[in-house]
């Protein structure tokens, strides 16, 4: 079965510290990979995506992610977080064989002053 796993449900971190949010998926078929962010009472905003090409992708707000095909992972990183980065982050994988976009359970990033 196709699944997306975000390994941490909550990640507390101090302001200006680096952070990594982890994402693994189950399938070996061709995929597209996405990270979305959700602020309270809002919809999902696209942070970045991997469709093809360079495995290191850069997104908005200083975030980047690296696609590792052998480990079927797509971890999100930011070298220095701000209070305003406090939100829920979702990893999503588009599986070509089913045409479905499957989301992980989400990781709540809590940035403390």
Partner 1 sequence: KAGVTQTPRYLIKTRGQQVTLSCSPISGHRSVSWYQQTPGQGLQFLFEYFSETQRNKGNFPGRFSGRQFSNSRSEMNVSTLELGDSALYLCASRPGSQETQYFGPGTRLLVL
Residues near partner 1, by CB under 8 A: 32, 34, 36, 41-46, 49, 90, 94, 96, 98-106
Q: Which residue's CB is nearer to partner 1, number 42 or number 54? A: 42
Q: Which residue's CB is nearer to partner 1, number 22 or number 49? A: 49
Q: Where does residue 28 fall: left (phi above 0), alpha (psi -120 to 50 degrees), or beta otherwise?
A: alpha
Q: Which residue's CB is nearer to partner 1, number 6 or number 72? A: 6
Residue 69 CB, nearest distance to partner 1 (Å)?
Answer: 18
């Amino acid at each position: 079965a196709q699944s997306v796993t975000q390994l941490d449900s909550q990640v507390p971190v101090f302001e200006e510290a680096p952070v990594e949010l982890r994402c693994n998926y189950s399938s070996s078929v061709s995929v597209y990979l996405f990270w979305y962010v959700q602020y309270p009472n809002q919809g999902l905003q696209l942070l970045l995506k991997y469709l093809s090409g360079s495995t290191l992708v850069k997104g908005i707000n200083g975030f980047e992610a690296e696609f590792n095909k052998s480990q079927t992972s797509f971890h999100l990183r930011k070298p220095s977080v701000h209070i305003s980065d406090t939100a829920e982050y979702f990893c999503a994988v588009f599986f070509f064989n089913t045409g479905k976009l499957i989301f992980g359970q989400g990781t709540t990033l809590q940035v403390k002053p």
